[in-house]
Chains A and B, each alone.
Chain A
Amino acid sequence: MVSRRDFVALAAAAAAIVGPGRAARLAARDRLTEAELLAFRPVGNVTILHLTDLHAQLLPLWFREPSTNIGVGEVRGLPPHLTGEAFLARFRLARGTPEAYAFTDQDFVELARRYGRVGGLDRIATLVKAIRAERPGRTLLLDGGDAMQGSWVTLKTKGADIVAAYRALGVDAMTAHWEFTFGAERVKEIIDELGFPFLAGNVLDTEWQEPVFESTAFFERGGVKIAVIGQAFPYTPVSNPRWMIPQWSFGIREERVAELVENARAQGAELVVLLSHNGFDVDRKLVSRVPGIDVVLTGHTHDALPEALVVGKTIVVGTGSHGKFLARLDLDVRDGAVKDWSFRLVPVFADAIRPDPEMAELVARLRAPFAAELERVLGRTKSLLYRRGNFQGSWDDLICAALLEERDAEIALSPGFRWGPTLLPDEPIRMEDVWAQTAITYPQVYRIEMTGAQIKEVLEDVADNIFNPDPYYQGGGDMVRVGGLGFAIDVEQPIGKRISDMTSLATGEPIDPARRYVVAGWASVNEGVEGPPVWELVARYIARHQLIEAPRAGRVIVKSA
């Protein structure tokens, strides 16, 4: 965090960071300026800014995009199911550039050292303020949810830190997913505290199937009446503990979305925006079936696309995660129709953007009560620690290794979350970094016996949740991470036939369907699970080993892709 403020003094900023390739870094940073990041072809009378899946990351961080992101069925090989070279080719980006660093995993460590951290709400505030100043009275700032989960501070304050930060940022409306894991009572309080609309049209009460939340908010920007319809994550009570929100029923509810769009038009909306936490493939299918949505701002699956896609007449925007990107969409809306538009997904390069002093001060104040625990150093990592990707991820291998060792288990299971930042080789691992991978409201580590057949069923069930060819049957997320276990997966097969060659890594023997294995895992969606919070085990493991090098707890062979 040294000298970041004086970015414009390029030489000073670069010189303050130790590491190889200083000249290259200097050259690169020459090209990266706040002005360049804000450069945009303005169009028309409305500017929509979209932020999503912040996962409570208020400070700049590293975030490596996936190397594996398989699409099945009709979306095979389509964005966002492209990675690395294929992604660069599809969007005509060159290797080694800031864009390659922002959007792919290519040369990640080298480019991270060259271009620096990404995100930070103070940087985002600077961008938002600049765009609002350029487009006064025309700008709408929308958040796609998963803002209030992913840090110790947000867990301890039950989202109050993000409420304060978003009020200061001037968010105009949001929808939700992980926010629901604070439980129904806290969600209602948060809505009262926000001071801006919390939209979730697809949530009905379980008893009478009546709407629980506001579905639609109307705004006037640039003389245009805009309807924003909120779509919360449709499988919240399946993917997360239903017992925390027992009265609320979710679902994609296509017919209801269509009805809300019609209602919005009937009330005079000239522009209809779906602020969605469905996930990219679900939204792509939804807008191909529900007419009348001008723009869908997608979230949940953390896909960052440098271009907006057009599906039928709908503009589809994927804004990534962790504050790494801010999407800007300018629209020329006349006579109730979009006549022209212009889009850019702005990578939030933390070194190139001046922190907004007010937001920086607020973030520091929100962190202050927890600063000592957050910054406690547990050990160091020799290798890259990342999570994102369809299978395993070195952070998850580390967590699984900790589960096996700390709970004396034969097999470890760790959820395939898509959130959680990256650490570079030779960085310290602080308690804050562990919490950024684990901070949830149901962190208990269970230890149970399961038969080999039951373990296979878990793997099959989760795989179908990701690789079902119909997006409406997908829940998002990545494959469950494993420790002490190897398996092969053929994603093209139907449920029950994807997983094969299950092997105990300790013995090298095939997993016996009838034998019982001791399994440790965390994030069970069931009520009353007992066990220590997962971060305690991971912290203890790191502190004992001190140096973490290429953690490897599980093995996955992908047979088709």
Chain B
Amino acid sequence: MMRSSAASRRTVMKGMGAGALALGGLGFGIGSARADLAKAEKLLKELIGSKTPQEGKVRLEMPQIAENGQTVPLTAAVDSPMTPDNYCKVIHIIAEGNPEAGVCSFKFTPLSGRAEFSTRMRLAQTQNVWAVAEMSDGSVWMTKTEVKVTIGGCGG
């Protein structure tokens, strides 16, 4: 899998619905801080069925505080050999606080060589982002990271 190609950035983005509203030119975000966990969990079930994801193996790199909620960079990777008997089949990204919880799913084959991708996503508000990896042996791995979307300002 090629890392960060321009094509991959464009193709994987899905509509994320409304982001932070701009208010009077000042850009105070007015999203409710409540994330719709049920929606994210329902989606997870649709993707992986009744399996229980384990913690570990999958890595998700995102900024702790988004510079621009409209386009937040992310890199996801799974530490796994990529042989025909043992490889990462897919990595899903789920945003628990976006109007649409499903962000993207990247599929891999042993020929991908490496289960890793970089892209950007939109974040409506401060929330946890999940990376869920399905392996060829049927196991599922997951990690979560919190990304803050703030109105900014002030500082030392």
Contacts and interface: CB of A to CB of B under 8 A. Distances in A.
Contact of B155 (A235, A448, A528): A235
Interface SS majority for chain B: loop
Contacts of A462: 153-154
A462 B148 CA distance: 12
Contacts of B56: none
B25 A417 contact: no
A496 interface: yes
Given A417-B154, A465-B150, A472 B64 contact: yes
Interface in B8-42: 23-30, 33
Contacts of A449: 24
B151 A458 contact: yes
Interface stretch (B43-51, B65-73, B128-136): B65-73
B64 A454 contact: no
A419 B67 contact: no
With most chain B CB atoms within 10 A of its CB, the pick from A146, A209, A458, A465 is A465
B1 to A, nearest CB: 16
Contacts of A458: 28, 151
Contacts of A495: 33, 126
Interface string A291-322: 00000000011100000000000000000000
Contacts of B64: 251-252, 470, 472-473
A473 B146 CA distance: 9
B118 interface: yes
A118 to B, nearest CB: 19
Contact of A473 (B26, B65, B154, B156): B65
Interface SS majority for chain A: loop
Interface residues of A, number: 54
A416 interface: yes
B4 to A, nearest CB: 7
A526 B24 CA distance: 10
B148 A419 contact: no
A527 to B, nearest CB: 8
A419 B150 contact: no
A477 B67 CA distance: 17
B28 A457 contact: yes
Contacts of B79: none
A177 B27 CA distance: 22
Given A208-B4, A525-B152, A526-B25, A237 B67 contact: yes
B23 A477 contact: no
B68 A448 contact: no
Interface stretch (A19-27, A155-163, A238-246): A238-246
With most chain B CB atoms within 10 A of its CB, the pick from A53, A146, A239 is A239
B4 A242 contact: no
Given A454-B28, A473-B65, A495-B33, A279 B156 contact: yes
A417 B27 contact: no
A425 interface: no
A238 B156 contact: no
B81 interface: no
Interface in A467-499: 468, 470, 472-473, 475-478, 480, 495-496
Contacts of B29: 457, 461
B156 A524 contact: no
B25 A473 contact: no
A497 to B, nearest CB: 10
Nearest to B23: A454
Contact of A250 (B4, B61, B67): B67
A206 B64 CA distance: 16
Interface string B80-99: 00000000000000000000
Contacts of B63: 251
A415 B150 CA distance: 15
B25 A529 contact: yes
Contacts of B118: 209
A477 B23 CA distance: 24
A417 B65 contact: no
Contacts of A419: 156
B26 A524 contact: yes
Given A209-B118, A251-B63, A526 B27 contact: yes
Interface in A205-234: 208-209, 233
A184 B40 CA distance: 40
Interface string A246-287: 000111100100000000000000000000000100000000
Given A495-B33, A526-B25, A528-B25, A249 B73 contact: yes
Contacts of A465: 150, 154
A117 interface: no
A205 to B, nearest CB: 11
Contact of B148 (A417, A446, A473): A473
Nearest to B59: A255
A448 B24 contact: yes
Given A238-B67, A495-B126, A457 B156 contact: no
With most chain B CB atoms within 10 A of its CB, the pick from A255, A457, A476 is A457
B67 A300 contact: no
Contact of A240 (B61, B146, B155): B155
A239 B154 contact: yes
A29 interface: no
A239 B64 CA distance: 14
A529 B153 contact: no
Nearest to A242: B67
6 contacts: A237-B67, A450-B28, A458-B28, A461-B150, A461-B151, A526-B27
Interface of B: 4, 23-30, 33, 61, 63-68, 73, 118, 126, 146, 148, 150-156
